[in-house]
Amino acid sequence: MHYEMRTYTIQIGKMQEYLQHFEKEGLPVISRYATLVGWWYTEIGELNQVVHIWAYQSLDERIERRAALYRDPDWLERFVPKAFPMLIKQESQLLRPAAFSPIR
């Protein structure tokens, strides 16, 4: 299993708006293409960030599913135009579980 951890920095004052928009418009669409492992937002440390982890069977599956997401009109027309302007920065890391990890 491969995990992708995405960290987005949200504009100050836009966190609740972003979370509500993602839950209503983004999550139903992206869930067609990826399996959500967890979703968090920061309250201590670097603020105004959301961190989410998605699971994929392989890197090839991730590439295929991300490409399909970016062809989905619901994603492109209903989620992206409102969500992306609220973002300051995006970071993506591909994670592989260690042999002793409880999540594999």
What confidence score (pLDDT) does residue 103 get?
87
pTM over 0.85: yes
Domain 2-95 in this protein, CATH class: alpha beta
Q: Where are the domains of the chain?
A: 2-95
Q: How far apart are CA 8 and CA 22, in angstroms?
A: 12
Q: How far apart are CA 26 and CA 79, in angstroms?
A: 6
Model confidence over 10-37: pLDDT tens digits? Answer: 999 999 999 999 999 999 999 999 999 9
Model confidence over 60-102: pLDDT tens digits? Answer: 999 999 999 999 999 999 999 999 999 999 999 999 889 999 9
Q: How far is CA 17 from the centre of its chain?
A: 16
